[in-house]
Amino acid sequence: TESKIYSAMQKMTNRRHEENWKLRAEACRKKGKPVPEYTPKPASVATKATHLSFIKALLRAAEREWKMLDKAPIIKVPQPKNKRIRWLEPHEAQRLIDECPEPLKSVVEFALATGLRRSNIINLEWQQIDMQRRVAWINPEESKSNRAIGVALNDTACRVLKKQIGNHHRWVFVYKESCTKPDGTKAPTVRKMRYDANTAWKAALRRAGIDDFRFHDLRHTWASWLVQAGVPLSVLQEMGGWESIEMVRRYAHLAPNHLTEHARQIDSILNPSVPNLSQSKNKEGTNDV
């Protein structure tokens, strides 16, 4: 049984990669261009780990609670390696924004202002936004954690949204292009932005001189800026819609200020003749009172 489960996991492919290929294939068919060959992309270790954890819990329940199995198979769940966090300094982010053409520029600004994932931004509808209350929300079926996410809209996010008003009755972020009518004439049309449209993004990165940077790294940038500004990890978890605090701890090293007082304890051990500055300040404050 274990071997069959592992074999099935090895056959898992990246669903989003397949969906993006279908979109490109459909676009090629409409334009009369040859359809690119589909090459499956293996699912990530993290995706496989999630599925294996669910299967492991299910089999354990079948043994211990439902009494359907005498002994549940032993399932080992691989631990995904924590990848490095790639984020931009504010001046780098501004350089990237300046090189992005519209509507990509608005999308990038909105991503940096809210920390939303690319798919959530592209699929954002006006019915998910309340400009008066300055809030937006991501529905459970659209979030990675399968839970609704409330998004507080800051001034930057509101400014970006106001620029999009009137462009489309349903979708927030759209682009304009000319389409050919049956009679051969050209006419402007408004379309929803595509998730897999990377040409303008890669060109903007190249012009801005930024290497090794993905669109999802804008979310890392947003989180990194907030942590460095002193936002608690528990608050960041809620703002970003992360499922567990462990997923947010990868940003903790960016703001180790809360560890400073503890780190100073070693001073009194290595240099007993030198007074601890933090303790001296505390004593001075006490005397003043």
Domain boundaries, the chain: 2-64, 90-254, 264-288
pLDDT at 237: 94
At 95, list the tokens: 């350089």
Read off the pLDDT of residues 209-223 as tens digits, 9 standing for 90 and up.
Answer: 999 999 999 999 999
Three-state DSSP state, 55: helix
Is residue 206 scored above 80 in pLDDT?
Answer: yes
Q: Is residue 277 predicted with pLDDT exceeding 60?
A: no
Rounded Cα–Cα distance for residues 160 and 165 (Å): 9
CB 233 within 8 A of CB 248: yes
Higher pLDDT, residue 196 or 20: 20
Name which of 62-76, 182-196, 230-244 the model is least confident about.
182-196
Enter the DSSP assignment of 160: H
pLDDT of residue 236: 94
Q: Which residues contact 69 (CB under 8 A, 6 or more apart)?
A: 59, 62, 63
| Neighbour tally for 121: CB within 10 Å | 21
Which band of pLDDT confidence, cut at 50, 70 and 90, is reported for residue 177? confident
What CATH homologous superfamily does 90-254 map to? Intergrase catalytic core (1.10.443.10)
What pLDDT, on a 0 to 100 scale, did the predictor assign at position 274?
A: 59
Condensed to tens digits (0 to 9), the pLDDT of residues 68-115 reads: 999 988 888 887 776 678 899 999 999 999 999 999 999 999 999 999
Q: Please, what is the end-to-end C-alpha distance for the chain in angstroms?
A: 71
Q: What is the pLDDT of residues 234-266, one digit of tens each?
A: 999 999 999 888 889 888 888 777 677 778 888
Q: What is the mean pLDDT of the chain?
A: 87
Report which residue type is found at 265. Q
- The token duo for 51 is 């599925």
Instruction: Report pLDDT for 143.
Output: 86
Whole-angstrom distance, CA of residue 289 vs CA of residue 163: 54
DSSP conformation class of 186: E
Query: What φ, ψ does residue 190 adopt, rounded to 5°?
Result: -110, 130
Q: Estimate to the nearest angstrom the gap between the alpha carbon of 115 and the chain centroid.
A: 7
Does the pLDDT of residue 289 top 60, yes or no?
no
Report the C-alpha gap between 28 and 126 in whole angstroms: 29
Active site residues: 117, 144, 216, 219, 242, 251
**pLDDT, position 284:** 47
pLDDT of residue 288 exceeding 50, the answer is: no
Cα-based distances in Å from 171 to 18, 112, 129, 289: 23, 19, 11, 60
Please give the pLDDT value at position 156. Answer: 97
Q: Please check the confidence at residue 179 and state whether its pLDDT lies above 80.
A: no
- Give the single-character DSSP code of 81: -
Question: Against a cut of 0.85, is the pTM above it?
Answer: no
| 148 φ/ψ sector (left φ>0, alpha ψ -120 to 50, else beta) | beta
